[in-house]
Amino acid sequence: MTKIKLVSGTRGIYSFFCPGCGKYHTINTKDEGYKQPIWGFNGDVDKPTFTPSLAVLSVTNIANEYREMRCHSFIRDGKIQYLSDCDHALAGQTIDMIDE
Ligand SMILES: [Zn+2]
């Protein structure tokens, strides 16, 4: 059981479940040979820390209307600290990451 999972076929792209968005987000920690931002990672899949913060924009269907949803967080020591500019209900809260 780990908090994050290496995406198969990659050397350093990890996925984790985001309870705020109700979906998985991915973080790239190694140069995979294409232009993508690379995050710092402490190498601990049980208590991951990524730097800098992670901002994800996704399109979500809410009441049959497609809306852009922002998710902005710090992931430190196996916890997700959601910042106040998230569009979901966990904005401003810090929660433990869920085991994969
Ligand atoms: Zn999210």
pLDDT score of 25: 95
pLDDT, tens digit, 9 for 90 and up, residues 86-96: 999 999 999 99
21 C-alpha vs ligand 1 centroid, how far in Å?
4
Burial class (CB in 10 A: 0-12, 13-18, 19+), 64: exposed
25 alpha carbon to ligand 1 midpoint, in Å? 7
Tell me how far the alpha carbon of residue 46 lies from the centroid of ligand 1, in angstroms.
19
Q: In what order do the strands lie in the sheet with 5-6?
A: 5-6, 13-18, 23-28
Tokens 């790239």 correspond to: 28
Query: Which pTM was predicted?
Result: 0.90
Beta bridge partners of 72: 55
For residue range 9-62, what is the model confidence (pLDDT) as tens digits?
999 999 999 999 999 999 999 988 877 889 999 999 999 999 999 999 988 887
What pLDDT is recorded for position 54? 97
Give yes or no for residue 72 having a pLDDT over 80.
Answer: yes
User: How far apart are the CA of 84 and the centre of ligand 1, in A?
Assistant: 13
